[in-house]
A and B are shown apart, each in its own frame.
Chain A
Amino acid sequence: MRITTLTSIAALLLLGATSALAAGEDDYKAAYAAAEAANKQAASLRNQWTTTASTLAVAKKFADGGDFDKATASAKEAEALAKASIFQATSEKERWRDLEIR
């Protein structure tokens, strides 16, 4: 009886934890919008990366197939890539001179 109760509680906890971790459509949409916004900022700095666009396309493909876990993960990866391209463009505004032949 005690074992059955514990197993049931564990199963319920696990179910709760899983549902807490699983991403839904809203999570995906938020992650995708954030990635798109960062990529738009990279465009304004004339420094988009091809990999940001391809990762966003992967995210959309997963979402179209209903896999919002993978779609959200890809969208977050795309946002990280876009943010890295923004950092690169910003830091290079000064750093390019390090390479200059003088």
Chain B
Amino acid sequence: MNLRARIQFAAAAFALALLAFAAPPAVSADKVDPVADEKAFKKFFYDKFPKLKPEDFVNGPYSMDADLYKQWQDKEQFPPYEFSLELGKEMFSKPFKNGKTYGDCFPNKGIGIRQDYPTFDEKEGKVITLELALNRCREANGEPAFSYVRDEMAALTAYMAFTSRGKPFNIKVPNDPRALAAYENGKEYFYTRRGQLNFSCATCHVQSPGERVRTEVLAPALGIVNAMPIYRSEWNGMGTTSRRFTTCNSQIRGVPLTPQDDEYRNVEYYLSYVSNGLPISGPGARP
């Protein structure tokens, strides 16, 4: 082989290597099948807890333990989230300085729409959660954004969830490669082990629902977001979905991401989608 042939051979080999190692898109859209995922996800939980009705799963740990269920029923007589609900209703109807309200930012004036969030924004190519939509509404109307982990956001989402109680989750993943990628990335986040304790979300909420971690009974992943936001006795207050995700991360000794980072938006999208058809039960109360 002369020098020229050698150079040509090397160039061809290099080109082939480039093709072989060229970074593929993060997610191959043709392999993403949310419908099959939802079916398998539900089957797993229905088989694991054959005595529960599908709608029971939205009650989290209360559906897993008879004594806790009894306590919860008593608690619901005077629900601990009531103060938040009242605050949320007041905030929701109070006009911004420009005279507009939250209702002006949402379909149906924001009433009875919780079950449609997170949604995929085709213009932006990203997942939009209800918390994010609320803050964008504020900012669009000249108001500062609320903290995603504090009481104001919990109160607003509590009220919006309450107006959707009993309505089945209706999350859509359009046939758009970006939406499918967001969904798949959310799934990957859910199953990925992280933190020094080497836990994934699934370690607690797929492998161990009904089991105890210290004094807490772990909730099943199916229906877990239907009850958000929640009053937690452990927190002595209300918690948003963002608060739940970030504290889960720190509990396993992982540094939490920033609330509403893509990973959190995507995992909420995934978890909500696989709970499609189960009723909204938020605001919820948990031990």
Q: Which bracket fits the contact residues of B?
A: 20 to 34
Q: Given A92-B192, A100-B187, A101-B41, A49 and B206 touching (CB < 8 A)? A: no
Instruction: List residues of chain B with CB within 8 A of the CB of A92.
Output: 192-194
Question: Is there a chain B Cβ closer than 8 Å to A48's Cβ?
Answer: yes
Residue numbers in B under 8 Å from A85 (CB-CB): 196
- Please tell me if the beta carbons of A96 and B188 are within 8 angstroms of each other in the complex: yes
In the complex, whether A97 has a CB less than 8 A from a CB of chain B is yes
Cβ-defined contact, B254 with A49, below 8 A: yes
B195, CB-defined interface residue at 8 Å: yes
Residues 193-235 of B contacting A (Cβ, < 8 Å): 193-196, 198, 200, 202-203, 206-207
CB atoms of A50 and B254 under 8 A apart: yes
A27 to chain B, nearest CB (A): 26
Q: Is B131 an interface residue (CB 8 A)?
A: no
Are A48 and B41 in contact, with the CB atoms below 8 A? Answer: no
Cβ of B41: which chain A residues have Cβ within 8 Å of it? 101
Partner of A88, one of B194, B206, B207, B255: B194
B28-47 residues with Cβ-Cβ distance < 8 A to A are 37, 40-41, 44
- The total of chain A residues at the interface (CB under 8 A) is 21
B191 lies within 8 A of chain A by Cβ: yes
B263 within 8 Å of A by Cβ? yes
Q: Which residues of B contact A49 (CB under 8 A)?
A: 195-196, 253-255
Contact residues of B: prevailing secondary structure: mixed
Residues of B contacting A84 in the complex (Cβ-Cβ under 8 angstroms): 196
A47, B196: Cβ atoms closer than 8 Å: no
Would B193 and A88 count as touching, CB distance under 8 A?
yes
Chain B residues, CB < 8 A from A95 = 193
Asked whether, in the complex, the Cβ of A51 is within 8 Å of the Cβ of B253, the reply is yes
B93 within 8 Å of A by Cβ? no
Expressed in whole angstroms, the Cα–Cα distance for A49 and B193 within the complex equals: 12
Determine whether B257 belongs to the interface, using a CB cutoff of 8 Å to chain A. Answer: yes
Contact B263 A51 (CB under 8 A): no
Cα separation A49 to B206 with both chains bound (whole Å): 23
For A29-55 the 0/1 string (1 means CB < 8 A from B) is 000000000000001001111110100
Return 29 A-B CB contacts under 8 Å, by A number: A46-B263, A47-B254, A48-B255, A49-B195, A49-B196, A49-B255, A50-B195, A50-B196, A50-B254, A53-B255, A81-B196, A85-B196, A88-B194, A88-B198, A89-B194, A92-B192, A92-B193, A96-B188, A96-B191, A96-B193, A99-B193, A99-B202, A99-B203, A99-B206, A100-B187, A100-B191, A101-B37, A101-B41, A101-B44
Binding site for B on A (CB under 8 A): 43, 46-51, 53, 81, 84-85, 88-89, 92, 95-97, 99-102
Q: Please give me the 4 A-B residue pairs with the lowest Cβ-Cβ distance, nearest first.
A: A48-B255, A96-B191, A96-B192, A99-B191
